[in-house]
Structures are given as structure tokens and as C-alpha cells.
Amino acid sequence: MIVVDDGSTDATVESVRAVAEGDPRVRIIENPHFGKGYTVRTGMLAAQGKIALFTDADLSTPIEEIERLLPYFEQGYDLVIGSREGGGQNQRIGEPFYRHLMGRVLT
């Protein structure tokens, strides 16, 4: 697992470092605050292995959702993109209206 920190001011770096000390499969990359796109790119380029998965640290998309993505990789797809907006979904549970609107306008 690679955690890419985008210049956070909370205890993210320290928490991940503590886990990484006991597990060599966990590492942290500290970025200056260049935004989400830069941060995602950094992590994906550092990833190794057959499949690389990106998710937000708040797990707004539960990690169990990978089960819905894996069959596409098994069918030979190189890239699979999940969306909380697809498949006739309505506004996300607990999401403020302004966030939903920003997601629609800024994409």
C-alpha cells in the first residue's frame, strides 16, 4: 500500500509511518500541496504489480468495491474506472448539495 500525502496538516504522515515500520508492504510518499491530480499521479506511477487501485484515504468508496472491478481485469481490460455517479445513481448519501453540484459543473 502506498499512501501519498498532499501536504496534510493532520497526523496522516505519522500514522502511516507507524504502520510502515512494522509492515514493509506499506510506504508513504510526501508531496508538497500540488493538488489531487498530482498526488494521484505520483502514487500510481510508484505502484508496482499487476493491478494498481486508487482510493481516497477516507474510503468514501469502500475497499470492498474492488470485487466489482476485478472481473473486468480478468476479461483483459487494462483500465477500469468506477464511479459513484454511474448506473442511475442518485445523489450520494450524506453529500451536501453544493458538493454534488461542483462535481457536475467542474468535470
- For the stretch 51-105, pLDDT in tens is 999 988 887 778 888 899 999 999 999 999 887 666 655 556 677 878 777 767 7
Give the mean pLDDT of 24-38. 93
pLDDT (tens digit per residue) in 46-66: 999 899 999 888 877 788 888
Domain housing 54:
2-105
Q: Residue 31 pLDDT > 80, yes or no?
A: yes
Query: How many domains in the chain?
Result: 1
DSSP 25-92: T-EEEEE-S--HHHHHHHHHHH--SS------TT-SS-GGGHHHHHHHHHTT-S-----TT-TT--SP
